[in-house]
Structure 1
Amino acid sequence: MSQETVSDPQAALEAEKYENPVASREFILQLLAEHDGPLTLNRLISLLGYDGDDERIEGLSRRMRAMERDGQVIRNRRGGYVPVTHAELVRGRVLGHRDGFGFLVPDDGGDDVFLSPRVMRALLNGDRAVVQVTGLDRRGRREGNLVEVIERANAEIVGRLVLEAGIAFVVPDHARITQDILVPMTDLMGARDGQIVRVALVEQPTLRHKPVGKVVEVLGDHMSPGMEIDVAINSHGIPHEWPQEVLAAIDGLNPEVEESHKSGRVDLRHMPLVTIDGADSKDFDDAVFCQATPDGFRLLVAIADVSHYVNVGSALDREGFNRATSVYFPGRVLPMLPEVLSNGLCSLNPDVDRLCLCADMLINNDGQIAKFRFFEGVMKSAARLTYDTVAKVLIDQDAEARAAHAHVLEPLETLHRLYKVLRAARERRGAIDFDTVETKIVFGEGRKIEAIVPYERNDAHKIIEECMIAANVAAGRFVADHKIPALYR
């Protein structure tokens, strides 16, 4: 913004008019801050010299509504606007507590503001609001009163339906939402007492009234097998259905890689790369290959080239950004990308051509990466191996397992030798080894939990870990050498 201060209003207004059809947010906030007390829309129109200019008046009105929605200003009962920059006004996100009170986590950092159970009656966990700090509670925490709700976070809630004395309400499953949702008897959609339902909020809560909703889906009976997964998915708003634009984007995708897509890539199909994953894995993201060299080892780490299919700004890219990651439940996964990609074209399945990105590294006998390069390739996995199978081949020297995998035996043994070299280098540099015990759930009949058993890690797990660390070290060096801005962990 060209103006330095509103203290010279004429010059500032002329500059603002010249640059913008409607005054910028920054200029409006500065104007509000320099006036004693709130300014109504009509007063702003007058100060900005928009009288009689219908187009600018409409634009200013829209801008003020947007600023109010975004929590930059609040409007009092008389229609006056006040900037949310005063020390006593704080905007942020509401964090509910199972005991009925809550906190406002400020957008700009600083200590949370305590919200009493009375204030929380008008709010739900996740809402964005502006509160006025009224003082300190008996524990010395800042305490606030609700000024304005900026944004509602809960359009739907999952919980257990209760029918009691002719009244229906839903007890939310989410521990941070403590208010029951009233449901008119005409909006039960056939749900019975005790069933788990999904309700759409028709009315948000206020200081005087509880939220009101209508049943939009009956998920099933309380405590039925698998119900906890459906409840978790709906309670936490985990995306589990593909938007129409995503379905349109994958419509017609060939399950096999098209020949034209392989051109210009390094052909790795003659090299016996293998995937090594858990026995229950459904998609295979990475593959490895190792051979001995006069000075040490050559290690190839290939990952599925997702970027070939997911273009920046596309429907797939937007949905992937929205989902952020695949979500894993016992026996079920909600993938970040549709299965034709996650389990198909972007999964390094055995004996089929797949597009990949490859890290090609030369590692010396001291475990140091001497040279590396990255390239786009096309590969064909020689085997889908499990950690247990690799342990049988390399650790147990199981004759049957070794015979069954004779075609990849040499690179596997070379990979094991490389692992020992990398491991020794790790220990020499004093790297921390987080060797914790993981667990897995064993299900019995009717998907009831039968046992929770330790998940044993063997050298096969550690081989893959060391390969991935080496590839990431090379990637880190690459972006550092080329001065590419990046995040490091």
Structure 2
Amino acid sequence: MEKELLEERKKVIYELICDELYIPMKMKEIASLLQVPKEDREDLKIVLDELLADGKIEVSKKGKFSKASGKFLTGIYTGHQKGFGFVTVEGMEEDIFISESSANGAVHKDTVQVVLTEEKGGKRKEGAVVKVLSHGMKELVGTFQKSKSFGFVVTDNTRFAKDIFVPLERSKGAVTGHKVVVEITDFGSNSKKPEGKVKEIIGHINDPGTDIMSIVKGYELPVDFPERVMNQVENVSSEVTGADMAGRMDIRSWQTVTIDGEDAKDLDDAITLTKEGDLYKLGVHIADVTNYVQERSALDVEALKRGTSVYLVDRVIPMLPHKLSNGICSLNAGVDRLALSCIMTIDGNGNMIDHKIAETVINVDRRMTYTSVKKILEDKDEAEMEEYKELVPMFLRMEELAGILREKRRKRGSIDFDFPESKIILDAKGKPLDIKPYERNVATKIIEDFMLAANETVAQDYFWQELPFVYRVHDNPDPEKIQKLALFINNFGYGIKATKDEIHPKELQKLLQKIEDTPEEALISRLTLRSMKQAKYATISTGHFGLAAKYYCHFTSPIRRYPDLQIHRIIKDNLRGRMNEKRMEHYHKILPEVAVQSSAMERRADEAERETEKLKKVEYMQERIGEVFDGVISSITTWGIYVELANTVEGLVHVTSLEDDYYYYDESVYEMVGDKTGNRYKLGQKVKVKVFATDKILRTIDFKIVLDEEEVDLEE
């Protein structure tokens, strides 16, 4: 149904239901009054569901519709593996707790109507699900278990707390241990299990690659490109022609490099840098992907659907097919490539004196790696410096300018969370061989600094031109969360200045500097991060809190992020004089949906990436049960002590496994205390732990603390 028509029908039906002449009525009575023919009843149901979701009307258990009395709320149900759940209502600060007995058949991701029950003792709001308006999960991934006359699927998603019954004739021949995609045909109720049919057999649980593919399917990540997309890709030229270069700024003679990881194949940014007097001329040149991905083409539709490339531990699921991302759109060395360039003139204090955004043609001199540039700048490696001697002066200028830009950002209050990322090394069968922290170095920081500069410059330019655009925004934290953080850090002797309504990012930056290299650094850093909101895409520039930037966008990665691709299209329309009223109206119409879709797909990709990392960490530690590791206490809770190892793996020492005494959690000092011995476990304390157990389904690792006398026994 067209959006305009839907809104019109919603208005008519809402007015009818709310008319004082009528008592609550069923759908067939509404259809009769509105003279809706039987064949259009499905459209009527869509309108009623929309009004229910909006919270404008409510429906009784007998199926009678009436005006919402205000006691019902509509939100998204988040299930928990223990049976209870929470409902998130837009605009409400806190989720509503739903007990297992009050879920009324709701399952994870359902849109539900809830009624608030009494708040107990000032704790969080509690409620009951009145009606499930729509189901959010139609398919799930799980492990098939077969019995004589039926089968069932134990789902991987622990938030979906029920097993799914599968009749054997709908099992596709699956056997016990098969990982399957199951389509839910009946969601059941509190007393009846959901029912489904096997849609796809992924592989046996012990087959290499089945574990990751189960996560891919579980997050509904698209693997193969549709045929129409691949047909379009076949027609894309594999080299830049003279016609492609016409009208572009030719900067092929400029000394140009790409700097990426060793295994990167989609090189979408290149750098040039010169210095005249006190002024730096920095060029950030980004692959002109829009030249090959036309708006509304099959390629464009698929790219928007995917939203982003997804980087899992053993594979990349690209936003664009490899022929584009690793071929004509990749800024490979020694070949002509089309780019969209942001060329900035910057003074010695990091101020942007001038800039130019232009369509260009470039030719990269050398494909550099982070490791190589680090060897030149940090290690002063003579062999490396000789190999790239003609580029060394530019690298030295890069280090100089990056330092200036970083200092300018620091002064304004930009927050830099430096959590070590994990680098997981797998063998050919996907088995983890090693896990180590992926440390940022001088070269990775240079690229970060230059990309940030380009992103800010482009965003500011288009903000002041008042043109439709997609910004990257990061809203100010909720004052309540900041107050809680302030109370928490006060226990450690730290403080932050915050008014009732807001805090400046500089205050959080100062806090992170104060806690550097302290035992509580990991915990306070994580809590500070959690107190902040999630960055997202938006059509209105509200600023970026974390970067302390008034204007920010994503311009630098159109191969792997759709918002970058979208704003390249806007920039090119503007540069070519095509940004007339009609075109502006078109962008105003489509961009809100682009921002929402891109934000949602980014969250999905982040979650899938985290899940594959957790899975491989569990698998790695599974092989090391009984082994002893050095670790640091990263956080303490009532149920136990979390210990992080040097390789970034984190596990739980459950309070019941502390057998030398009865331990309790002293919340006032955030310590685990032995009742009789007075023994204390503190944040940041170094401990030895033995790997005790792992769970691949729950993705958990359990440790036991090794005491000194046990250590001697182990050595013997």
- Structure 1 and Structure 2 fold alike (TM over 0.5): yes
Question: Whole-Å Cα distance in 2 between the matches of residues 417 and 20 of structure 1?
Answer: 59
Alignment size in residue pairs: 463
Counterpart of 2:266 in structure 1 is 283
SS of residue paired to 2:391? helix
The 5 Å alignment of 1:57-456 reads 61=41, 63-70=43-50, 71-72=53-54, 73=57, 76=60, 80-83=64-67, 85-107=68-90, 109=92, 111-120=94-103, 122-133=105-116, 135=118, 141-147=125-131, 149-164=132-147, 166-429=149-412, 431-444=414-427, 446-456=429-439
Distance 1:180 1:461 in 2: 46
Q: Report the CA distance between 1:290 and its aligned residue.
A: 0.5
User: SS where residue 406 of structure 1 aligns?
Assistant: coil
Structure 1 counterpart of 2:647: none
- Relative to structure 1, the CA distance from residue 127 to residue 79 in structure 2 (aligned partners, 3 Å threshold; closer, same or farther) is closer
Secondary structure at the aligned position of 2:17 is classed as: helix
In the alignment, does 2:6 pair up with 1:33? no
Q: Distance in 2 between matches of 1:33 and 1:181?
A: 40
Indicate conservation of the 8 Å contact 2:103/2:128, yes or no: no
User: In 1, Cα distance between the equivalents of 2:5 and 2:268?
Assistant: 50
Q: Tell me if the contact between 2:116 and 2:125 (Cα under 8 Å) persists in the aligned partners.
A: no
Moved more, 314-323 or 366-375: 314-323
| Alpha carbons 1:25, 1:67 under 8 Å: kept | yes
Secondary structure in structure 1 of the residue aligned to 2:196: strand
Within 1, Cα distance between the matches of 2:257 and 2:244? 22
Q: Which amino acid is 1:145 matched to?
A: V
In the alignment, the residues of structure 1 paired with residue 257 and residue 62 of structure 2 have an alpha-carbon distance, to the nearest angstrom, of: 70
- Determine helix, strand or coil for the equivalent of 2:401: helix
Q: Secondary structure at the match of 1:325?
A: coil
**Alpha-carbon distance in structure 2 between the residues aligned to 1:22 and 1:414:** 58
Q: What CA distance in whole angstroms lies between the structure 2 residues aligned with 1:192 and 1:206?
A: 27
User: After superposition, what is the alpha-carbon deviation per residue over 1:55-95, rounded to whole angstroms, capped at 9, x for unaligned?
Assistant: x6579855532222323545557664324x32222222221
Deviation at 1:431, TM superposition (A): 4.1
- Provide Cα deviations, 1:172-192, integer angstroms capped at 9, x if missing partner: 001111111111222333322
Q: What is the distance in 2 between the residues matched to 1:143 and 1:395? A: 58
Unaligned runs of 5+ in 2: 472-540, 545-716
Distance in 2 between residues matched to 1:25 and 1:87, nearest whole Å:
19
Larger mean CA deviation between 155-164 and 405-414 belongs to 405-414
Tell me if the contact between 2:109 and 2:135 (Cα under 8 Å) persists in the aligned partners: yes
Which ranges in structure 1 are unaligned for 5 or more consecutive residues? 1-18
How high is the sequence identity, in percent, across the aligned residues? 32
Offset from partner CA, 1:267-296 (integer Å, 9 cap, x none): 122222211111121211211010111232
Q: Which moved more, 1:268-277 or 1:86-95?
A: 86-95
Deviation track 1:287-346 (CA, whole Å, cap 9, x = no partner) reads 101011123211100111222233333333332222221111113111112222222222
TM-score, normalised with respect to structure 1 = 0.85
| 1:345-372 residue CA offsets vs partner (Å, 9 max, x unmatched) | 2221222222211011111122221111
1-side partners of 2:230 and 2:289: how far apart?
17
Structure 2 distance, partners of 1:336, 1:222, is 28
TM-fit CA distance, 1:158: 0.7
Aligned equivalent of 1:11: none
Residue deviations 1:196-242 (CA, integer Å, cap 9, x gap): 12222233323443222222322223254433311111112222232
Using the TM superposition, give the Cα deviation of residue 407 of structure 1 relative to its aligned residue in structure 2, in angstroms: 4.1
The residue identity in structure 2 corresponding to 1:311 is Q
Q: Distance in 2 between matches of 1:162 and 1:59?
A: 42
Deviates more, 1:342-351 or 1:219-228: 219-228
Equivalent pair of 1:121/1:179 in contact (CA under 8 Å)? no
Q: Alpha-carbon deviation of 1:417?
A: 2.8
| Structure with the greater alpha carbon radius of gyration | 1
Partner of 2:548: none
Give 3-state SS (helix, strand or coil) of 1:260's partner.
helix
Structure 1 counterpart of 2:381, one-letter code: D
- Report if the CA contact (8 A) 1:205-1:211 is conserved: yes
| Cα distance in 2, alignment partners of residues 353 and 143 from structure 1 | 62
- One-letter amino acid of the counterpart of residue 193, structure 2: K
- What SS does the aligned partner of 2:327 have? helix
Q: TM-score, normalised by structure 2?
A: 0.59
- Contact 1:199–1:214, Cα closer than 8 Å, also in 2: yes
Distance 2:235 2:124 in 1: 62
Deviation for aligned residue 1:482? 1.6
Aligned-residue offset at 1:248:
3.6
Letter of the structure 1 residue corresponding to residue 311 of structure 2: Y
Q: Label 1:135 to 1:21 Cα distance change in 2 as closer, same or farther (>3 A).
A: closer
- 1:32 partner SS: helix
Q: Is the 8 A contact 2:58 2:72 kept in 1?
A: no
Q: Aligned in 2, Cα 1:79/1:472: closer, same or farther, shift over 3 Å?
A: closer
Q: Distance in 2 between matches of 1:140 and 1:418?
A: 50
